[in-house]
Amino acid sequence: MTYTLNTTIINPKSSQKPKNAVILCHGYGGDGKDISILANYWKNYLPETIFICPDAPEKCVVSATGFQWFDLMDQTKDEILTKSLVAEIKLNKLIDEVKDNLNLKSKNIILGGFSQGCMISIQTGLKRTDKIKAIIGYSGKIISTDHLSKNINSRPEVILMHGDKDEVVPIESFLEAKEFFFKNNYSIEAKIFKNCEHRIPQEGSSLGLEFIKKNLY
């Protein structure tokens, strides 16, 4: 199997062909191997699931070894949105490649991410006309509520999780995202972690696992 983005693949424990896939998008300055740690935990409980953990398409401007979905440094909101639209095209292509390579339908795919990976997952997932099953968002935000509200094409299941002590993506971004979904008539799951900074706590990993089980199994 080949993908246009360099990808870390965590195969299912079952020797059978995967019945579903979870695509996990890393945060700013990270890579697919970073977020595959989450996949390596989840795979023990999801024997029919393959995990696809791509490196973002651009080298990160502030990390010699990391990647970015789009540049965040010294950019206006409009410039960030424009660059995110380029990343969105590439993530959509990866989703389609996963479908084709594994002979899966969109209803068998969950898209998730941490921080910037959460941002691009929300934007891509809601705008796809070919609806994926669900979105898992950790410690992220909506890149542009105005743009996204005008371009919603599908309604996947959504869970958002965030630490109340996050100083990288403040909790206000989580509350803004919740309000966005409410105004657009989405019913989502949402969880705030007490005394948690910009990271995925064990509780968040467990909630993500249960969300996947509920939607794919």
Residue 124: the pLDDT is: 98
From residue 203, how far is each of 14, 109, 137, 163 by CA, in Å? 26, 23, 14, 11
* Mean pLDDT of all residues in 203-215: 98
* Mean pLDDT of all residues in 108-121: 98
Rounded Cα–Cα distance for residues 98 and 101 (Å): 5
Q: What is the mean pLDDT of the chain?
A: 97
- The string over 133-151, giving b where at least 16 C-beta atoms fall within 10 Å of a residue's C-beta and e elsewhere, is bbbbbbbbbbbbeebbeee
Instruction: Enumerate the domain spans of the chain.
Output: 7-216
Structure tokens at 161: 């999780």
Taking alpha carbons only, the member of 191, 90, 182 closest to residue 145 is: 182
Residue 73: the pLDDT is: 85
Write the CB contacts of 26 (distance below 8 Å, at least 6 apart in sequence). 32, 34, 35, 53, 55, 56, 67, 113, 114, 116, 117
Q: Please report the beta strands in 117-203, taking only residues with DSSP state E, as ranges in sequence order.
A: 134-138, 157-163, 189-193
- Residue 192: pLDDT band by 50, 70, 90 thresholds? very high
- Other Cβ atoms less than 10 A from the Cβ of 204: the count is 22
Q: Which residue type sits at 155?
A: R
Residue 140: the pLDDT is: 98
* Mean pLDDT of all residues in 160-165: 98
Residue 93: the pLDDT is: 98
- Residue 80: pLDDT band by 50, 70, 90 thresholds? very high
Q: Dump pLDDT digits (tens) for 28-76.
A: 999 999 999 999 999 999 999 999 999 999 999 888 899 999 998 878 9
Q: CB–CB of 121/25 below 8 Å? A: yes
pLDDT at 1 over 90: no
Highest CATH level, class, for 7-216:
alpha beta
* Mean pLDDT of all residues in 133-161: 98
* Mean pLDDT of all residues in 110-120: 98
Q: What angle do CA 125, 38, 205 make, to 5 degrees?
A: 80
From residue 123, how far is each of 70, 99, 164, 174 by CA, in Å? 13, 19, 23, 14
- Residue 168: pLDDT band by 50, 70, 90 thresholds? very high
Q: CB–CB of 70/80 below 8 Å? A: yes
Q: CB–CB of 161/126 below 8 Å? A: no
Q: What is the pTM of this model?
A: 0.97
